[in-house]
Amino acid sequence: MTRGGRDKDREAAPERRCLVTGEVQPKAGLVRFVAGPDGTVVPDLAEKLPGRGFWVTADRAALQKAAEKGLFSRGAKAHVRAEPDLVDGIEAALARRVVELISLSRKAGDAVAGFEKVKGWLADGKAKVLFQASDGSDRGKGKLWTPTGGRWFGCLTASELGLAFGRDHVIHSALAPGGLTDKVIRDASRLNGLRGHIGSSAAGKDSRADER
């Protein structure tokens, strides 16, 4: 807590207002947009593009509503138009970003793939994030568990996870704390909203005690 009684973690998380819902929430759960020079809406997933930014919750329905109801123009305070494939394009771009970030984490030694390696990291408390392919066997995925105090994601397919590890497909992978992991969590959480997966829920067991 700070001297003023506010939580430091809360202060450290910048917040923005969603154009669609009107709710103020941590910007990690929203997508930033800017108006392009040609008057089109441009998603700024890296949050680095110049210009007035406006934000929408990372949810397919919210993004579609913003595009269909002309809400982006209100955020830009100018007439802008959204391309018909805007939402699908955001989903594809987020998937690429998550795959690329996991790949970089792997090269840094902060990510592993394969049931036994992932299980070992979970058992040793080395993992902060568990990824399991959305199209993998539920029976196999149920044998692993969400890291204590960590996250589970099921927003990537086996082929997409495979790309991150230079393989045809991967069902299970884990990331260690630090490095690029916080960025992976941010973008995977956004991708969950586009693909309808609940990133805070475990695909398998909740703790090692259940595995014994």
**Is the per-residue pLDDT at 150 higher than 70?**
yes
* Confidence category of residue 133, pLDDT binned at 50, 70, 90: very high
**Is the per-residue pLDDT at 210 higher than 90?**
no
**CATH fold of the domain at 89-195:** 60s Ribosomal Protein L30; Chain: A; (3.30.1330)
Within a 10 A sphere around the Cβ of 196, how many other Cβ atoms?
Answer: 11
The sign of the CA dihedral 35, 36, 42, 48 is negative
- Tokens at 23, concatenated: 């709710």
Average pLDDT, integer, range 41-65:
96
Do the beta carbons of residue 67 and residue 39 sit within 8 Å? no
**Is the per-residue pLDDT at 212 higher than 80?**
no
Phi and psi for 159 in degrees, rounded to 5? -65, -40
Report the pLDDT value the prediction gives residue 13, as an integer from 0 to 100. 80
Average pLDDT, integer, range 137-144:
94
**Is the per-residue pLDDT at 2 higher than 90?**
no
Report the pLDDT value the prediction gives residue 11, as an integer from 0 to 100. 54
Phi and psi for 32 in degrees, rounded to 5? -90, 145
- Tokens at 13, concatenated: 């998380």
The C-alpha atoms of residue 163 and residue 178 are separated, in whole angstroms, by 22
- Tokens at 91, concatenated: 């989903």
**Domain locations in the chain as residue ranges:** 15-83, 89-195
Mean pLDDT (the chain, rounded): 89
The C-alpha atoms of residue 168 and residue 209 are separated, in whole angstroms, by 33
Q: What is the pTM of this model?
A: 0.86
Instruction: Outline where DSSP puts E strands in the chain.
Output: 15-17, 24-26, 30-35, 41-43, 54-57, 111-113, 129-132, 151-153, 172-175
The C-alpha atoms of residue 95 and residue 116 are separated, in whole angstroms, by 25
Do the beta carbons of residue 194 and residue 133 sit within 8 Å? no
| Non-local CB neighbours of 202 within 8 Å, separated by 6+ positions | 130, 145, 146, 152
**Is the per-residue pLDDT at 125 higher than 70?**
yes
**Is the per-residue pLDDT at 76 higher than 50?**
yes
Average pLDDT, integer, range 167-196:
96
Report the pLDDT value the prediction gives residue 146, as an integer from 0 to 100. 97
**Is the per-residue pLDDT at 60 higher than 80?**
yes
**CATH fold of the domain at 15-83:** Hypothetical Cytosolic Protein; Chain: A; (3.30.1230)
- Residues 87-100: tens digit of each pLDDT: 999 999 999 999 99
